[in-house]
Amino acid sequence: MENMTENKGMPLLGDKFPEMKVQTTHGVLQLPEAFAGKWFVLFSHPADFTPVCTTEFVAFQKRYDQFRELNCELIGLSVDQVFAHIVWEEWIKENLDVEIQFPIIADTGLVAETLGIIHPGKGTNTVRAVFVVDAEGKIRIILYYPQELGRNIDEIVRVVKAMQISDKNRVAMPANWPNNEIVGDHVIIPPATDVQTSKDRLIKAKEGEFECIDWWLCHKKL
């Protein structure tokens, strides 16, 4: 991997995804340019030919169409060499009848260092990190899981969909959306930031534009 920007520490939410040239199972890619105009999920795993990682890759692949429907690509990563990735993919195809269609980065350690996904307290392998990057190349979500816990891939699909809806409609998404315990599948109207807006909220709620439990907790169905 060739780091194209000065490493200024672990990336944070809202940062541009670091520019880097990476070797993958699909050839050399320039990130984030390779996915220009698309969202992408970069996820790291501790190592090839390990049981939890294998279950995760199968789960990601089985939901690949769902990600693509959201204009979102997948790219995996570990500090294994390309030939190990390729042989592991072949094993998954031969033994589990699942063909991995997304690229996997073969990292020498530089990508992991740039993204801050080797945590000394959890060993020398990459932790199970997830970076959700939007179509403008900005990091929108970062998730970390320890090596011993596999990820819930349906949750990653959910957060991509939820963030896209939030952006498009300028709304917030409640807990467990679309199955929230208070507002169901509704979305949250951002809180009022001044007195007049708070008063207008209640008026609009009476007119049926949206619903309010109180002036600061309003919601609507898309």
Tokens standing for residue 62: 């089985």
Check residue 65 and give its pLDDT: 98
Contact 87, 47 (CB under 8 A): no
Rounded to whole angstroms, the Cα distance separating 45 from 117 reads 10
Check residue 86 and give its pLDDT: 96
Query: Is residue 207 scored above 50 in pLDDT?
Result: yes
Active site residue 212: no
Q: What's the pTM?
A: 0.89
Q: How confident is the model at residue 5 (pLDDT cuts 50, 70, 90)?
A: very low
Is 164 part of any domain? no
Say how many domains are in the chain: 2
Query: Is residue 76 scored above 70 in pLDDT?
Result: yes
Query: Is residue 61 scored above 90 in pLDDT?
Result: yes
Claim to verify: residue 37 and residue 129 sit in the same structural domain: yes
> Which residue segment(s) compose the domain that 125 sits in?
2-152
Check residue 3 and give its pLDDT: 47
Is 51 part of any domain? yes
> Residue written as tokens 């790291």?
44
- Between vectors from CA 143 to CA 158 and to CA 18, what angle results, nearest 5°? 105
Claim to verify: residue 67 and residue 16 sit in the same structural domain: yes
Claim to verify: residue 89 and residue 179 sit in the same structural domain: no
Is 159 part of any domain? no
Claim to verify: residue 49 and residue 147 sit in the same structural domain: yes
**What pLDDT, in 10s, does the model give residues 98-120?**
999 999 999 888 888 888 886 76
Contact 18, 117 (CB under 8 A): no
Q: Which of 53, 72, 212, 218 is catalytic?
A: 53
